[in-house]
């Protein structure tokens, strides 16, 4: 029997038994969809995290105030410390051998206004190095000037969205903004870049760190980004920085240093758990689909006994009879998988619309893998009915008393 | 073409052994037209299934075109069926979801013949059976006679040497029954070996050679009678 004829033969059968086919398709589609959807979400999260921290580069350390107690968990991104991280701490780190740049960061929400227009914006105090470390590019004007950490200057760089909201079509460069009690001259507009580390840089305003300290009336730094000259001394440099701060903080080790690796491995743990959940759900739903396929196929075999007898009378070998049943299962599995992938893609499309910053996409391997699993499951579970059909004696099948006359 | 030697087929029913075919000897030459008659349960259908290689003998041997078939495996039997044998059943055995044309085409499809080569073969059979305007109908849209014609079309599309019909008119009224028989006889005239199992004496009498079965044996064979009457 030719492949095309086999498919055509099966399609007629599938079309004839719409309800049964729809049920099977749904079972397979749901399980495939579950796999694809969960992988898509997991992968989206992973890509999101990866993108975040790839931005930093491997040679950048993030220092947070506060000591994380447990190992393995996610570091306290919003750590609460007993002792502040100060600009003088940052300066001391900058003087260490392997450190090429240090960017202190103070951040908070602030009412920003220009003329009548005003809006709350994410306000960050940092320095020139911040632009390099975070790979922020300036579309117009320039970045913050090189200043000693403690020196303030009434200038700011703003995100493209904030610019649009405050200035509309009018030029923003050289204009003055009001933030709290202070005024800042706009010297640069950030290139449109999307979110970074959880805050949308397009809506942000960046001012010199000393100005931010005054604005927020706060000494303590939120974070310190430390760029190392080379990756070689990563461990040693990390230890030296911790030692330095311990010395500066009266012998208390009250900072946490995050590297890209440590963060990624923490997320890796979460993702592995998610993967396990995916595998579990996939396994269960596939099992359900498989058992359904087997039952339906067994029913089909007994319903089609006379047809099987006829096929045999017409000289159809047992092999071909088995093939007819297996290929039917195969067609169902593949169509079900396609439907499942399609639905999952549609849902992920919606998800991307709702959360534009997280790249929810199912990787190709998951799509192919889920289709493969569905097919293999279908074939495995259809094997028993197919063999039953193939092994029927032609006379007995033809004379099957149970079935009605054709 | 066909030779049965001491062929037996017995069924175990409970603790009783039913001899549906009891040491049967039979020779059939190419192009013959036989009818098989006899009371219900005499083994007619069993004989026909045996000749059609749908069933295996319990003992004895069946030679089809000089091939001993009792030791052949299922696969080889399927090939022989495909090449040499066509079946016509009392209950038609058409596949309901396929059209008349597709039912006729089925053996060609199963044999793996390319669509291009299939079309002229099917067309010829459809024209031959005057089913042209019914070709795209489903079996349940056809009359009994038409269904049996489709079944005959399916039986002959592979150009078998042997056509086996088990009560082909059993479900038909006398008019369409006669049409079907005449069609089968035409095919026989064209050279096909025809064996018809029937309960209808009038139909049985039409055959050139009549077998009468009782209790799994051939009680009378018009061919032998002729021979014996000549001899006596
Ligand atoms: N699968 C089977 N299992 C048990 N006994 C069977 C089976 N098939 C046939 N028989 C028995 O074998 C004998 C011959 O049956 P067969 O069907 O050949 O009769 P028949 O001559 O075709 O009868 P009818 O005219 O009613 O069709 C009967 O006694 C029947 O009960
Ligand atoms: Mg019978």
Cβ atoms of B176 and B144 within 8 Å: the answer is yes
Instruction: Determine the pLDDT at residue B232.
Output: 38
| Distance in angstroms (rounded) separating the CA atoms of residues A195 and A52 | 9
What's the token pair of residue A189? 């507009």
Of B91, B110, B115, the CB nearest to A314: B110
In chain A, which residues have their Cβ closer than 8 Å to the Cβ of B158? 315
Strand partners, B87: B164
| Distance in angstroms (rounded) separating the CA atoms of residues B149 and A203 | 81
Which range in A92-101, A397-406, B26-35 is most confidently predicted, on average pLDDT? B26-35
Q: What is the mean pLDDT of residues B108-127?
A: 92
pLDDT band for A195, please (50, 70, 90 cuts): low
Q: Which residues contact A346 (CB under 8 A, 6 or more apart)?
A: none
Beta-carbon neighbour count of residue A49 at 10 Å? Answer: 18
| Distance in angstroms (rounded) separating the CA atoms of residues B13 and A403 | 22
DSSP state of A144: P
Describe the crossing of helices B115-128 and B100-110 by its angle, rounded to 10 degrees: 130
Q: What is the mean pLDDT of residues A381-398?
A: 85
Is the CB of residue B98 less than 8 Å away from at least one CB of chain A? Answer: yes
pLDDT in tens, B28-69: 999 999 999 999 999 999 999 999 999 989 999 999 998 899
Q: Pairing mode, if any, of strands A204-208 and A223-228? A: unpaired
3-class secondary structure, B91: coil
3-class secondary structure, B197: strand
Q: Residue A329: pLDDT above 90?
A: no
3-class secondary structure, A245: helix
For A4, A186, B106, B226, the CA distances from B112, given in Å and listed in that order, are 10, 79, 10, 45
Instruction: Determine the pLDDT at residue B228.
Output: 44
What's the token pair of residue A188? 């640069």
Of B82, B97, B114, the CB nearest to A314: B82
Instruction: Determine the pLDDT at residue B231.
Output: 39
Question: Percent of chain A, pLDDT > 90?
Answer: 22
What's the token pair of residue B153? 């079309």
Determine phi and psi for B59, rounding to 5 degrees.
Answer: -155, 165
* Ligand 1-lining residues (CB < 6 angstroms): B 11, 13, 18, 20, 38, 40-46
Q: Residue A185: pLDDT above 90?
A: yes
In chain A, which residues have their Cβ closer than 8 Å to the Cβ of B85? 315
Domain containing residue B97? 31-53+73-227
Q: Residue A3: pLDDT above 90?
A: no
Ligand nearest to the Cα of B18, by number: 1
Q: Do B109 and A312 touch (CB under 8 A)?
A: no
Find where tokens 């305007």 sit.
Answer: B133
In chain B, which residues have their Cβ closer than 8 Å to the Cβ of A15? 97
Domain count, chain B: 1
| Distance in angstroms (rounded) separating the CA atoms of residues A142 and A294 | 68
Best of A5, A314, A404 to disrupt the B interface by mutation (most B CBs within 10 Å)?
A314
Q: Residue A73: pLDDT above 50?
A: no
ipTM (interface predicted TM)? 0.90
Q: Find the B11 Cα to ligand 1 centroid distance in Å.
A: 9
Q: What is the mean pLDDT of residues B71-86?
A: 91
Q: Residues A9-13: contacts with CB within 8 Å, 24+ apart?
A: A9/A324, A9/B109, A10/A324, A10/A327, A10/A328, A10/A331, A11/A331, A12/B97, A12/B98, A13/A328, A13/B97
Does residue B24 fall inside a structural domain?
Answer: no
pLDDT band for A258, please (50, 70, 90 cuts): confident
In chain B, which residues have their Cβ closer than 8 Å to the Cβ of A316? 78, 82, 110
Name the minimum distance, in Å, from the CA of A25 to any CA of chain B: 20
Strand partners, B194: B33, B163
Domain CATH number, residue B115: 3.40.50.300
What's the token pair of residue A93? 């780190």
Q: What is the mean pLDDT of residues A356-382?
A: 87
Q: Which residues contact B114 (CB under 8 A, 6 or more apart)?
A: A2
What's the token pair of residue B58? 């319990």
Does residue B215 fall inside a structural domain?
Answer: yes
Best of B20, B93, B115 to disrupt the A interface by mutation (most A CBs within 10 Å)?
B93
Pocket test for ligand 1, best of B35, B46, B211 (most atoms within 8 A of CB): B46
Q: Residue A246: pLDDT above 80?
A: yes
Q: Find the A256 Cα to ligand 2 centroid distance in Å.
A: 91
Q: Residue A128: pLDDT above 90?
A: yes
Name the minimum distance, in Å, from the CA of B204 to any CA of chain A: 24
| Distance in angstroms (rounded) separating the CA atoms of residues A44 and A267 | 12
Instruction: Determine the pLDDT at residue A82.
Output: 63
Q: Residue A72: pLDDT above 50?
A: no
Q: What is the mean pLDDT of residues A381-400?
A: 84
Q: Do A16 and B74 touch (CB under 8 A)?
A: no
Does residue B210 fall inside a structural domain?
Answer: yes
Q: Residue A388: pLDDT above 60?
A: yes
| Distance in angstroms (rounded) separating the CA atoms of residues B119 and A191 | 67
Burial label, A152 (beta-carbon count in 10 A; 0-12, 13-18, 19+)? middle
What's the token pair of residue A110? 């602030």
Extents of the domains making up chain A: 3-52+265-398, 60-258
Least confident range of A11-20, A37-46, A271-280, B96-105: A271-280
Q: What is the mean pLDDT of residues A290-318?
A: 85
Q: Where are the beta strands (DSSP E) in A142-213?
A: 155-158, 176-179, 182-190, 195-196, 199-200, 204-208
Is the CB of residue B106 less than 8 Å away from at least one CB of chain A? Answer: yes
Q: Do B55 and A394 touch (CB under 8 A)?
A: yes
Q: Residue B227: pLDDT above 60?
A: no
> What size, in residues, is chain B?
232
Is the CB of residue B14 less than 8 Å away from at least one CB of chain A? Answer: no
Q: What is the mean pLDDT of residues B156-180?
A: 91
3-state secondary structure string across A287-336 = HHHHHHHHHHHHHHHHHCHHHHHHHHHCCCCHHHHHHHHHHHHHHHHHHH
Pocket test for ligand 1, best of A392, A399, A400, A402 (most atoms within 8 A of CB): A399
* Residue of chain A whose alpha carbon sits nearest to that of B52: A313
In chain A, which residues have their Cβ closer than 8 Å to the Cβ of B79? 315, 317
Cβ atoms of A36 and A281 within 8 Å: the answer is no
């Amino acid at each position: 029997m030719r492949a095309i004829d086999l498919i055509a033969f099966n399609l007629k059968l599938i079309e004839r038994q719409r309800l049964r086919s729809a049920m099977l398709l749904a079972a397979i589609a749901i399980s495939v969809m579950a796999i694809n959807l969960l992988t898509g979400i997991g992968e989206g999260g992973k890509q999101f995290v990866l993108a975040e921290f790839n931005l930093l580069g491997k040679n950048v350390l993030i220092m947070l105030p506060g000591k994380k107690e447990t190992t393995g968990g996610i570091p306290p991104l919003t750590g609460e410390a007993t002792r502040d991280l100060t600009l003088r701490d940052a300066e001391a780190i900058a003087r260490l051998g392997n450190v090429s740049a240090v960017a202190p960061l103070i951040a908070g929400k602030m009412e920003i206004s220009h003329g009548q227009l005003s809006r709350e914006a994410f306000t960050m105090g940092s320095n020139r190095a911040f632009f390099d470390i975070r790979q922020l590019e300036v579309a117009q004007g320039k970045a913050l000037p090189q200043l000693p950490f403690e020196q303030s200057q009434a200038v700011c760089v703003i995100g493209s969205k904030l610019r649009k909201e405050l200035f509309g079509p009018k030029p923003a460069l050289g204009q003055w903004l009001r933030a709290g009690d202070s005024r800042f001259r706009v010297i640069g507009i950030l290139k449109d870049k999307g979110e970074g580390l959880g805050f949308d840089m397009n809506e942000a305003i960046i001012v010199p760190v000393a100005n931010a300290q005054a604005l927020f009336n706060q000494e303590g730094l939120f974070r310190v980004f430390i760029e190392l000259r080379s990756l070689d001394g990563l461990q040693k440099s990390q230890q030296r920085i911790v030692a330095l701060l311990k010395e500066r903080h009266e012998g208390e080790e009250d900072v946490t240093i995050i590297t890209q690796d440590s963060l990624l491995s923490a997320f890796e743990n979460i993702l592995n758990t998610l993967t396990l959940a995916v595998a579990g759900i996939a396994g269960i739903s596939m099992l359900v689909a498989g058992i359904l396929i087997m039952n339906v196929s067994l029913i089909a075999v007994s319903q089609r006994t006379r047809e099987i007898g006829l096929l045999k009378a017409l000289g159809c070998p047992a092999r071909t009879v088995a093939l007819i049943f297996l290929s039917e299962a195969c067609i169902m599995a593949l169509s079900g998988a396609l439907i499942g992938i399609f639905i999952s893609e549609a849902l992920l499309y919606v998800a991307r619309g709702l959360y534009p910053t997280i790249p929810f996409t199912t990787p190709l391997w998951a799509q192919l893998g889920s289709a493969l699993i569905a097919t293999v499951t279908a074939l495995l579970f259809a094997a028993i009915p197919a063999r039953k059909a193939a092994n029927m004696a032609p006379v007995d099948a033809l004379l099957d008393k149970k079935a009605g006359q054709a | 073409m066909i030779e049965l030697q001491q062929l037996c087929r017995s069924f175990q029913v409970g603790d009783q052994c039913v001899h549906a075919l009891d040491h049967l000897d039979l020779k059939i030459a190419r192009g013959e037209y036989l009818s098989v008659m006899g009371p219900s349960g005499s083994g007619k259908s069993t004989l026909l299934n045996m000749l059609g290689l749908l069933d295996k003998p319990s003992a004895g041997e069946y030679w089809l075109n000089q091939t001993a078939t009792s030791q052949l495996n299922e696969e080889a039997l399927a090939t022989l069926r495909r090449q040499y044998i066509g079946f016509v059943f009392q209950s038609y055995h058409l596949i309901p979801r396929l059209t008349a044309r597709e039912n006729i085409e089925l053996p060609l499809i199963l044999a793996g013949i390319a669509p291009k080569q299939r079309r002229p073969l099917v067309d010829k059979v459809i024209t031959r059976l005057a089913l042209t305007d019914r070709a795209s109908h489903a079996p349940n849209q056809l009359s009994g006679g038409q269904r049996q014609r489709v079944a005959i079309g399916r039986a002959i599309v592979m150009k078998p040497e042997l056509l086996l019909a088990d009560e082909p008119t059993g479900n038909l009224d006398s008019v369409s029954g006669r049409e079907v028989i005449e069609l089968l006889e035409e095919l026989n005239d064209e050279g096909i070996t025809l064996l018809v199992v029937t309960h209808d004496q009038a139909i049985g009498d039409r055959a050139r050679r009549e077998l009468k079965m009782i209790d799994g044996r051939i009680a009378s064979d018009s061919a032998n009678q002729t021979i014996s009457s000549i001899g006596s």
